[in-house]
Amino acid sequence: MSQPTVLTPGSTSASGAPDVPRRRSPARWAPIVSIVLDIVAPLAVLYGLRAFGASLWTALVVSSAVPVLVMVVRFVRRRVVDYPSLFVLVLIAAGVGISLLTGDPRTLLIRDSWLWLLVGIVGLWLLASVLYGRPGLMVAYRSFVLTKVGPDGLRAWEGRWDTDAGFRHGLRVLTVVWGLATVLNAVLHVAAAFVLPLGIAPLVLQLIWPAIIAPLMVFHVLYTKRRDLRA
């Protein structure tokens, strides 16, 4: 009875091809890592400190340092300035500075809503763009389409706007849905920051956008496939 062949790194298989150990792509775990670092970690620090008796103000300030640390680590690893994260860092610094003067923990919660309020303004731009010219979502998609199918594919995809009424209608509907979702998200964030009890507001604020984006992405995938809007 022949013994099974054991391949080691650098050895060759029966076909003569070198054996290459399979490794899981780190990109597969990127979304999960991002969720853990950007959402789970700050909440864990916040409620962990509260469980050990820290004041809400102290817990909010310390948990605000988590995204700062994440941004610094990402910069050290990639050597690229993440401008959205830098903007968030400025908001955090401003919010912490104001809270140090006022001693009001709600100021930190309101600070977090500022960024989403700006995203809501983008949503208003999406809605307004449907009324004239090409919808904003089509403009935003250009770089993705270019990366996927190249310059010729991009020209063909954009050319459908002039010849395909269904394509124009589908992109308008998709843009309206994304615009409404981002505006709703901004309104809910601002309202929650001002109205909700301080004990549960941080958790609710972190869950608003995931609760909106999950069904939105399902709709986006199904709608673009059914309406043939993809490049």
Q: How far apart are CA 186 and CA 88, in angstroms?
A: 15
The DSSP-derived string for 29-93 is GHHHHHHIIIIIHHHHHHHHHHHTT--HHHHHHHHHHHHHHHHHHHHHHH----HHHHHHHHHHH
pLDDT the model gives residue 174: 95
Q: Give the angle 86-188-139 at the CA atoms, nearest 5°.
A: 60
- Quick one: pLDDT band at residue 81, thresholds 50, 70, 90? low
Within 13 A of 73's CA, how many CA atoms are on the CB side?
9
Q: Is the pLDDT of residue 80 over 70?
A: no
pTM, full prediction: 0.62
pLDDT tens-digit map of 160-214: 999 999 999 999 999 999 999 999 999 999 899 889 988 888 888 888 988 998 9
pLDDT at 94: 63
pLDDT the model gives residue 161: 94
Phi, psi of 22 (to 5 degrees): -80, 135
